[in-house]
Chains A and B, each alone.
Chain A
Amino acid sequence: MRILMVGLNHRTADVAAREALAFDDAGVAGLLSQLRERFPMSEGVVLSTCNRTELYIARPVHAAPSAEEVRSLLAERGGLAPEVLASTTLLREQEQAALHLFHVCAGLDSMVLGEPQVQGQVRKAYELAQSHGLVGPVLHRLFRGALAAGKEARNRTGIDAGRTSVSSVAVAFARNIFDHFTDKKVAVIGAGEMIKGAAHALLREDPQALWIVNRSPGRARQLAQSVSPDGARPVAMRSWDDLDTVLVEADIVVSCTGANEPVVSADRFRPLLKRRRNRPLFLVDMAVPRDIDPAIGGLSNVYLYNLDDLQQAVGVTTDERHAQREQCEAILHERCARCMGEIRHRDLGKLVQQLRARLNDIADQEQQRTQRKLAAQGVVNERHDAVIREHNHRLINKILHLPLSQLDRNDPNAPVGFYAAALRRLFDLDDEPTVPGEGEGSEAGSDRQDAS
């Protein structure tokens, strides 16, 4: 099986490009369905977060899709020309693709090093693909291994300790504008995971009030209960229709909704400035596509930051954590190699089975021919049949002994993949067709708890 990763992230593409390929749950589901229809032999997981849209594919060696086909599919879904994507997409294969996923899970590829939220996002993407029947044995092992390794790397190195979430970086940035938060009113727009993290980070600063503004009052209520279960924190819900008033009264606004159009447009915000009496306003737009019109950032006394801006701001913090990163990478390399070994082991097991089956077929055919010839000469009997079968068995074992010993699974330097591909080609063996949801695929479901 070949593992392929095609996608773009905050390192390869700017916000505008990421916006075009940012899929909500329905969009991811649509893409998964399309993958299943077009490439039924393949496994696939779509990871779409604010910072990245990546497709992880596991397919038989000579089967579709190719990287170009995946890129075309993405371009089609995003309404972009494939050549536009060519310069911004990232392509990784086999070990590199696996290692990339391990890095993503551990937060090493995140905008903020060690960010914990991405772990949950990867798990959600894996579970969504699983519910669409697109997770087979390869991606199951890969994602399970990556999630476990990410958790282990965080626990052992403490890379996620301190200011490692986008929300906490945003709070640190707000300190350049405001001296203290006790007399500041904070508003969060949306009620998702990112907003939950932001609300927690902001409440730690003890603001005068925290308002939750969301289209769905039910989700806003859930979030309010989640961030202030005992009601001791100054958390209140504001209706969506009240958004203009909130924008006038608040000092800090953090937005992350799933809206496809800006929630706060420049035309909407400009008249509010006068009502604000030019008080400074710190706006953090964590959404992709963006919730807040970038033109608002140009207005006086308004400081608008999106995810890219925060990334720029935390660049040096990332450098400071170089040592922790190295530790993390060592753990991830080891875990990734082990995981790929398991996948390869399973591949080789299947290959040996196929090879033996092929040789047995040939042997059976030849045995039948021999038996027919001996029967024509009148010398065959049941004892002869057993001898011929044993002879074939020994012959097959002796033929297979040397090639199989070359596929030494314990030698990391052995070109196992090359040997396996050569054997498949020489003996005309099909690559294993994946039947997601069956066989080992069902194992994925039972192991889901382990991954979490």
Chain B
Amino acid sequence: MTDTATSIPLILMTALSAAAATLAVRRLRAARPQEQRPNTSPTQHLLVGLIAVGCITLLLLRWLLLWESWEPLHAHVDGLLLMCASFAGAVLYIQTRPKLRGLAAFALPLLTLMLAWAICASLWTYRPFRLDTLEPAWLVFHTTSTYLGLLCCALGAIGGAMYLYVQGRLKSKHAVPGRLASLETLETLIIRAATLGFVLLTLSLVSGVVLVTRGEGTALGIEWWVSPKVILATLAWAVYALLMNIRHASAFRGRRAAWLAIFGLVLLLATYGIVGAMDKQTGTIDTASSLKRASDTDRGGD
């Protein structure tokens, strides 16, 4: 029942997002060089606003319907809803900023993919978090910082994708359609997104380490620090550490920074993929299960 109640609005919102993305891309393609008309239409604003409100409403509804504890995120789909709501809010902001002209055309397809991912997470790969742990605060901290960190990295990646597009047009001496965000603005966006993403990923890593060490690292194996998940997460963290200092590490400026932003997101998605693979083995999310084992051990100790 809950799956259906979640999936149907999600499918509707995915359709709305796809429509908004189509509008944005068509608008971008139809723009003439140096044209200064607004980078978005009222319809596009409305669609994205509906998605943002829809995601938040759905997240709250799920929280109330599945009330188990004070934690708002019960499952992976809730994390994705939080991310989609925040991302839709970010797109709304982007659409109102003249300096970020055209970025919505790159962001909205990604929002559509996120919503589609949320449908999958709701219908076929539903993964509830284990909330009956001794460390719910750490778990909430970990999951929230992870999803919001991923959101920042996604913003950096769309900045990178647009940078590559604009730079490619400029290098090939083709006129840029419309007046898109400048390369300087996009580089600033990548750096800011990477900086925020780095902070959130740091929090996520630290909280993850706390959770794993409290659970004696059994979910990720005895040598959890060399597990693929930790290695990939650390590698992504390092990429963002480099990206936020790109103006000092000048060898990575420009095109390389854009590719790094995209590579960082791919690394994070790969880390999530590994989480999913591990969950299939353990049945629940790793940190939760390890904490459960830790709590069992504690109780046994009592």
Contact = CB atoms under 8 A, between A and B. Distances in A.
B57 interface: no
Contact of A305 (B173, B184, B254, B255): B173
B183 A176 contact: yes
Give the residue among A176, A313, A314 with the most B Cβ atoms within 10 A: A176
A179 B184 contact: yes
Interface string A245-281: 0000000000000000000000000000000011110
Contacts, number: 59
A240 interface: no
Interface in A306-334: 309, 312-317, 320
A312 B174 contact: yes
Given A172-B34, A176-B166, A320-B32, A280 B184 contact: yes
Instruction: State which size class the interface on B falls in.
Output: 20 to 34
A300 interface: yes
B115 to A, nearest CB: 31
A193 B184 CA distance: 30
Interface of B: 32-34, 99, 166, 170-171, 173-176, 179-180, 182-185, 188, 250-251, 253-255
27 contacts: A163-B34, A175-B179, A176-B166, A176-B176, A176-B179, A177-B170, A177-B183, A177-B184, A178-B182, A178-B183, A178-B184, A179-B99, A179-B184, A277-B253, A278-B251, A279-B250, A300-B254, A303-B170, A303-B171, A312-B173, A312-B175, A313-B175, A314-B33, A316-B33, A316-B175, A317-B33, A317-B34
Contacts of A94: none
A297 B99 CA distance: 26
A416 to B, nearest CB: 46
Nearest to A315: B175
Interface string A148-163: 0000000000000001
A208 interface: no
Give the residue among B33, B183, B253, B255 with the most A Cβ atoms within 10 A: B33
B33 A277 contact: no
Q: Which 7 A-B pairs have the closest CB atoms?
A: A277-B250, A278-B253, A309-B173, A278-B250, A179-B184, A301-B254, A179-B182
A279 B179 CA distance: 22
A317 B179 CA distance: 13
A200 to B, nearest CB: 19
Contact of B254 (A172, A278, A315, A317): A278
Contacts of B175: 312-313, 315-316
Given A176-B166, A176-B176, A313 B33 contact: yes
Contacts of A179: 99, 182, 184-185, 188
Given A175-B182, A176-B183, A178-B184, A301 B174 contact: no
B173 A176 contact: no
Contacts of A297: 171
Interface in A170-227: 172, 175-179
Contacts of A301: 253-255
Give the residue among A179, A279, A315, A320 with the most B Cβ atoms within 10 A: A179
Contacts of A309: 173
A163 to B, nearest CB: 8
A124 to B, nearest CB: 30
B34 to A, nearest CB: 5
A300 B99 CA distance: 24
A172 B16 CA distance: 35
Give the residue among A175, A278, A280, A313 with the most B Cβ atoms within 10 A: A278
Contacts of B183: 176-178, 280
A178 B188 CA distance: 11
A89 B176 CA distance: 32
Interface in A381-423: none
Nearest to B99: A179
Contact of B170 (A176, A277, A314): A176
Contacts of A314: 33
Interface in A278-309: 278-280, 297, 300-301, 303, 305, 309
Nearest to B171: A303
A180 to B, nearest CB: 8
A253 to B, nearest CB: 16
A314 B35 CA distance: 11
Nearest to B31: A316
Given A278-B253, A297-B171, 16 more contacts: A163-B34, A175-B182, A176-B166, A176-B170, A176-B179, A176-B182, A177-B182, A177-B184, A179-B182, A277-B250, A278-B250, A279-B253, A280-B254, A303-B171, A316-B32, A316-B175
Contacts of A178: 182-184
A176 B253 CA distance: 17
A313 B173 contact: yes
Give the residue among B166, B184, B253 with the most A Cβ atoms within 10 A: B184
A130 to B, nearest CB: 39
Contacts of B250: 277-279
Nearest to B246: A278
Contacts of A177: 170, 182-184
Interface in A321-361: none
A176 B173 CA distance: 12
B99 to A, nearest CB: 6
B249 to A, nearest CB: 10
B165 to A, nearest CB: 11
Contacts of B182: 175-179
Nearest to A303: B170
A215 B171 CA distance: 30
Give the residue among B175, B188, B251 with the most A Cβ atoms within 10 A: B175
A279 B180 CA distance: 20
B255 A300 contact: yes
A312 B34 CA distance: 13
Nearest to A169: B34
Contacts of B251: 278
Nearest to B247: A277
Nearest to B185: A179
Contacts of B185: 179
Nearest to B174: A312
Contacts of B179: 175-176
Interface string A354-373: 00000000000000000000
A300 B180 CA distance: 20
Nearest to A305: B173
Contacts of B34: 163, 172, 317
Contacts of A320: 32
A251 to B, nearest CB: 10
Nearest to B255: A300
A242 B250 CA distance: 24
A439 to B, nearest CB: 51
